[in-house]
A and B are shown apart, each in its own frame.
Chain A
Amino acid sequence: MAAIQVQRAGPGVTLQDMGRNGYLAQGLSRGGAMDRLALIEGAALLGQDPTLAGIEIAGSYLSLRADNPVRIALTGAPMRARCDGAALAWQASHLLPAGATLDLAGSPGGYSYLSFGGGLECEKLLGARSAHLAAGIGRMLAAGDSLPLGADPGQRVGQAITPQARFDGGVLRIVATPQTRLFPEPDRQRFTETRFRKDTRGNRMGQRLILDGPGFGLKTGLTILSEAIAPGDIQITGDGMPFVLLAECQTTGGYPRIATVLPSDLPRLVQAPAGADLRFRFIPLQEAIALERAETARRADLRADLRPLIRDPHDMADLLAYQLISGVTRGDDLERTEG
């Protein structure tokens, strides 16, 4: 079986897919990729099932080598990608030749994804391949790991896709929770007028937010019976700061929740850089449901948005390499296409 050999992996590099379904009743949250859209974009670039497992790189670095030629796709937070030293475009698919080394470095923070043609076929545990670090399932990847690849019926590489904008903060749409009305109306109003930033304290379980000015703590000594919580829920913790639950969150909690972020807006939160403004906007539940359905349909049809990687022969250091390794470019296509 073809395999990938990990040569170097920083902290926060894990195998991820869409997580586990059906274990909430046993206290195990779904987990899975923090930016699910990035895995879906990777699957579209490779023309394959979005539930296949890839590698998530959380503000870190990774070097690996393929035993056999393998198609790859690079999505999520853009990193500096090199194949045996030659720059590769981000948000694109490429062929990694047998024996070539892929280096991913220079993460801007956020979550970057490396998908493979055929997906990684490490053994499933409880129905998925995702590491769930909080639950003690799986672990971070390390030098020396050998990751088996699934059979890849696809051939096409050299495709690019414009990422859905989500790397600069912005507005997160929210819906009310059963506890929203416990917060006084002036605080709810102020919540939607406040510019938040990500705190340095954030991980796969959740992201703390900070703001200039007072927090949103409830004045009364309110005790709320622990009940089900889910990714996207915004808890107001003891210090009045919002804490947004994410992929590996606990399954029950007793902090009051002021609102819940739409699932399709969570990638914008997890990919927001340090210091970027984040704001919240309440929308009615039925509008949120319609938006989710529309986004699910858009994601299912992403292949229609693919385009060939644009290359300028003048910029190419080695034309031979270009012909052998489809998709090798100057490495700044993304900047140029977005500029």
Chain B
Amino acid sequence: MTAISQNTSATGDAPTIHALGVDGVLISFGSELTEPANRAALAFHAALSGADLPGLKEAATSLTSVYLRLDLSACDLETLRPALATLLQSRDWYDAPLPATRRLWRVPALFGTELAPQLEEAAALAGLPPQDAIAELCAAPLRVQTIGFAPGQPYLGQLPENWNLPRQTDLTPRVPEGALAVAIRQMVLFSVSTPTGWRHVGQTALRLFQPDRPDPFLLRPGDEVLFQPVSRAEFETIRRDAPNGGAVSERAG
């Protein structure tokens, strides 16, 4: 591990470089999810495309880190380390601006009912009546902190502290595509039908990954999502008729 002494964040985090597998590198900006560490990961990932790093096959962000996959025929961690260290020291990544092309999405969502059966349970855990819980979840835009786990699947945050709910010990066997679930001050929108330990509080008509489309992924890291509560009748109309599940976007920031 290499700790870069310069450019620590306000919380004292400093970026580290680790090997991840034989052909991977993990650059971590913090072991806990903070706003500066998430910004740093997004900004460093964006900067990689302009950097001259021969042998870099691809890079991806997670919440507070950036993963690099290397072509071992052209490089390895040791040959790349000086260039990575230089890039890490070239600016204060924790203070970097959000991606310039980010968008604000307004997304209709049905909260509760049998289509999202864990709203009341999650609201109780957050110490709120269901209607207040919906209002709080829809009060402000949530950032796409990362896309991952499954194709096009966003992790959205960060919710107020009372939403720091643990995951369920038992998995829900299956939530449908477009399900909106909550845990640990984050929401996830599911791009495929999947089992999950997160509580299913809302349902959208979004299709986050459509592989046969020219632009198959709806959301990008850095985008913001503002949920707009709709009635069951409105939701059924949107699901039947509206393109993109009724979601509309505009330039954010």
A233–B77 Cα distance when bound, in Å, is: 18
A230–B70 Cα distance when bound, in Å, is: 12
Chain A: residues with Cβ within 8 Å of the partner, total of 38
A22, A175, A226, A286: the one contacting B148 at CB < 8 Å is A226
A160–B229 Cα distance when bound, in Å, is: 64
Contacts of B63 in A (CB 8 A): 225-227
Tell me the dominant secondary structure on chain B's binding face.
loop
Chain B: residues with Cβ within 8 Å of the partner, total of 47
Whether A317 sits at the interface, judged by CB under 8 Å, is no
B22, B58, B78: the one contacting A25 at CB < 8 Å is B58
A21–B45 Cα distance when bound, in Å, is: 17
| Residue ID in chain A nearest B210 by CB atoms | A136
> Which residues of chain A from 159 to 214 have any CB-CB distance to chain B below 8 Å in the complex?
175, 177-178
A-B contact count (CB 8 A): 133
Contacts of B60 in A (CB 8 A): 24-25, 228, 251
Pairwise interchain contact B21-A175, C-beta atoms closer than 8 A: yes
B32, B62, B151: the one contacting A135 at CB < 8 Å is B151
Whether A26 sits at the interface, judged by CB under 8 Å, is yes
Pairwise interchain contact A24-B58, C-beta atoms closer than 8 A: yes
Whether B150 sits at the interface, judged by CB under 8 Å, is yes
A225–B153 Cα distance when bound, in Å, is: 17
B1, B24, B32: the one contacting A228 at CB < 8 Å is B24
> Which residues of chain B from 19 to 45 have any CB-CB distance to chain A below 8 Å in the complex?
19-24, 26, 28, 31-33, 45
> Which residues of chain A from 100 to 144 have any CB-CB distance to chain B below 8 Å in the complex?
125-126, 134-137
A25–B147 Cα distance when bound, in Å, is: 7
> Which residues of chain A from 249 to 305 have any CB-CB distance to chain B below 8 Å in the complex?
250-253, 260, 262-263, 285-286, 288-289, 292-293, 296
Pairwise interchain contact B21-A233, C-beta atoms closer than 8 A: yes
Whether A218 sits at the interface, judged by CB under 8 Å, is no
B28, B72, B78, B149: the one contacting A252 at CB < 8 Å is B149
Pairwise interchain contact B58-A21, C-beta atoms closer than 8 A: yes
